[in-house]
Every structure is written in C-alpha cells, then in structure tokens.
Structure 1
Amino acid sequence: MQERVSLRPLAIYEVVRKEGAEELARPLTSLWWSGLAAGLSIGISIAAEGSLHQLLPDAPWRYLIESAGYTVGFIIVILARQQLFTEVTLTAFLPVLAEPSRAGWLALGRNWTVVLLANMAGCALFAALLHSRGALPDFTTAGARAISEHMAEMTPLQAFLRAILSGWMMALLVWVMPLAESARIWVIALITYFIALFELSHVVAGSVEVFLLVFDDQMSLWDGLRGYLLPFMVGNVIGGAALFALLAYGQVREEMEET
C-alpha cells in the first residue's frame, strides 16, 4: 500500500499509458461489446438518481442525496473494466501523445469512434427501457424524466463549458486510480458525485437523458445531437485529452527523456 501511495507522477503516467496501449490494441468486437455494456451500465446512474429524486421529499437537501445515485453506474462500469468514452479520452491518448505516428492516430480514432458509438447504443437501449411502460417502477421513470428535463434547460454553451470540467474530472479519476487500491469504490463515488452535484455534462450519462426525451417526443433527435450530445462530446474530449492529458504529459516529459 505504501508503495502505491508514494508513486511518482512518472510511475502513474506509465501505468495509465500502458493501459491505453492495451486498449488501442483490442479487437473492434471487444471494444464494441464492452462499450455497449458500459452504456447500459451508465443508464443505472440515471435510474438511481431519478428514483431518489422522486422518492425523497421536495426539500432543499434532496439534491445532495439524489446526486449519490449518479455514482452507481460509474462504479459498475469502472470496477467491471467496461469501456467508457470519457475514460479512454485520456488513457488511449497518452501512448499516442508519447510516440506520435500515423498508425497511432488511426488506432486512437478507431478506439474513440467505436467506444463512443457503442456507449450511445447502450444508452439508447436503456432510455428505451425507461420509456417503456411497466419495464421499471413508475417512480424510477418519472424521476428519470424529471432530471432529464432539468438537463435540457441548459444552453448549448453551458453544456459545452460544463463538459470541459466533467472531462477533466473523469481524467483525474483515471489518473488517481493507480493510487486508490482498496479505496477505489470511494474514489469513483466521490468524483462522480461532484460531477452530478455541480450539474456537469457527461456525454454518456447525458445520452440516456437525451434519448429519453427524444423517445418521449419532448425533443427531436437533431436538437438532441446538435444542442447537447455534440457539445458534451467536444467538451469532454477537450477537458480529458487536450487539457488533462497534455498537462499530465508535460509534467513527466523531461523525466521520460532522462530515462
């Protein structure tokens, strides 16, 4: 345990980079099924958060507790090692950043595309489950609709800006996991709890909300893609890859050259 706690940034970087290299080498079918499972699992976050929203009294403290439901799907996804787009924006980017090549950039594009599409498919399936009458308890579907409608109150600019911080926090989660050991579940819960509490934008979890509103005829698919999913995705990539990954690489670059 002490060795983990005392890991230097370079050691953490190497752990995350090696994980990214393994992800880039995975077959397309493995990425697809793992990403699909992650999309379905993240749907549990919306169902859990919605259930708490509906079952708790309408009091000022309700939001503090219902936000804890948002963490459930992320705990499942990360502990089960399922492919989540906002994780691979950092892990898959680091090996390409360290050794840029045409093949590396193509592998990165393939990884991001397959994982994102698979996540979206899983989210759409879970949203269809929420939309179906009787598939889940009424309080779950009513609560999920309520938090989805609240999400839709954001402007595209707000969605984009909040997605940058969300992408940063997801990358931070990936970065600290090698240090977490037996506290992994608490680290995941803490960071994703604050993503919910700050009402930040996460492209995968947000997809469940967008697809639910589309299925309920409260939003067109085009409006959902243009006004929410695209800003969510771009913001998450900027926060997770363009900002966090570059800063993480910058702080260890000279040490890597020395070794």
Structure 2
Amino acid sequence: MPTFQVLSQKCSPPEALNVLKGLGYTVGFIIVILGRSELFIEHTTLAVFPVLAGDQRLSTMLRLWGIIFVGNIIGYFLEYIITLLEPHLLSTGTDIFEDIALHLTEYPWYIIFGSGIFAGWLLGILGWLDIASKETISRIVIIALITFIIGIGGFHHSIVGSIEVFAGVIVPGDRVSWSDLGKFQLWSTLGNIIGGVFFVGLVKYSHTIRALK
C-alpha cells in the first residue's frame, strides 16, 4: 500500500491534512529554492527595486512577473496532472483532493485576499532571509520554518494553492468548480503581490535608501 494511501486513510481533514500539506510545502520549497528555480513571489518582492531606483521601467517588471507566473502555473499543472494519472495514487480515492481544494476555497473573497497578503509577506521575508543566510543548513531551517507555517496554516499561495484547487476541479466529483478556481486564483494572486511588494519590498527599499543617506 503506498505511503500516501496509508497517511490519507489515517488523516481527518482539515487538521491532519494540514500537517501533511505543511510537510509537503517544506520539502517542495527546499528543493525549489536551493535549486535556484524562479519563484513568482520572490520576484514580486525583489524585482520592484530596480523600478523604484529608476533603473528599469514598470512595464519590464510586469512582463517579468507575467512570464514567471505563467511558467510556474504551467509547470505545476503539468506535474499535478502526471501525478493524478499515477494509478496507485488514485486508488486512495479522489475525495481527498476535493477536501484539500475546499479547505482553500470555502472562504469569502476577502478572507482569501487577506490570507494571500500574509502568505506573500512571509515569502517576501523568506527571500530576504535566504539571501542573508550564508550556510546551507541555515537556509534549509529558514525555508522549512516559514513554508511549514504557510502549509499548516492553510494560507493562500497563488501558485501551489491553485494547483491544489485545480486538482479538486479535475477529479470526478462536483464539490469544486472552475469558478472556485478562478476566485481563488484572482484574490490569492493579488494578496501575494501586495504582501510581497508593499509589506516587504517597499519597506526594505525605504530602509535601504535611508541607510545610504
């Protein structure tokens, strides 16, 4: 019996599933960040600095955001579709995918938006701490701590979360709709951008400018 099947049978959503999500977020982000992959939230935070300094145009930054956002979404969608096609995983039943998706979409838009702001703020801080960390072990600890909080807290991440909702849409069942995915994608993305840019990027930039004066 696959490990995922054993765990899913023992899990009672949302509490136990949140623990699994937290661990999954941690492992995934450690691999992605240490592998120097392009992260959307990281770029929403860091790419704003050349624009504020007058070295780049706003249109250039927005184009960069768009390319990385679409690339992240396509990559994760393809990965998740391949996972869903794996017969042993599907033997666990598809209800678990709908349960995970519903745990992200059952809120009104302003809750998703606010949660997205907090997730963007955490990931923006993660980007700064990752740059400041000198050793691999310290980087892993920082990544694990912050991303586990996002996963176990159920905070809305516009990339990873959209894949979880997408999985709930495409599996057999009618509890999660395309409109749920659209609502999640819109408000979580806006929240992540605001959390990363305004609550981390602009604050850090203002501190940097003040220190240079």
Q: Please show how residues 37-52 of structure 1 align to structure 2 within 5 Å.
A: none
Q: Please show how residues 35-114 of structure 1 align to structure 2 within 5 Å.
A: 54-58=8-12, 62=16, 65-66=19-20, 67-97=22-52, 99-100=53-54, 103-114=56-67
Does residue 189 (structure 1) correspond to residue 126 (structure 2)? The answer is: no
Query: Of the two structures, which has the highest relative contact order with CA contacts closer than 8 Å and spacing of 6 or more?
Result: 2
User: What's the RMSD between the two structures over aligned residues?
Assistant: 2.7
Distance (Å, rounded) in 2 between the aligned partners of 1:171 and 1:53: 32
Distance (Å, rounded) in 2 between the aligned partners of 1:89 and 1:135: 38
In structure 1, the gaps of 5 or more residues are 1-47
Aligned position for 2:119: 166
Distance (Å, rounded) in 1 between the aligned partners of 2:155 and 2:97: 17
2:114 counterpart letter in structure 1: L
1:62 counterpart letter in structure 2: A
TM-score by length of structure 1 reads 0.70
Distance (Å, rounded) in 1 between the aligned partners of 2:103 and 2:14: 16
Distance (Å, rounded) in 2 between the aligned partners of 1:73 and 1:132: 20
TM-score by length of structure 2 reads 0.84
Aligned position for 1:224: 181
Query: How many equivalent residue pairs?
Result: 206
In structure 2, the gaps of 5 or more residues are none
Q: Deviations over 1:46-88 (max 9, x none)?
A: xx9x768515454997357422222111111111111111111
Alpha-carbon distance change, 86 to 126 in structure 1, aligned in 2, over 3 angstroms: same
Distance (Å, rounded) in 2 between the aligned partners of 1:255 and 1:122: 40
Q: Please show how residues 98-247 of structure 1 align to structure 2 within 5 Å.
A: 99-100=53-54, 103-132=56-85, 134=87, 136=89, 138-139=91-92, 143-180=96-133, 181-182=135-136, 183-216=138-171, 218=174, 219-225=176-182, 227-247=183-203
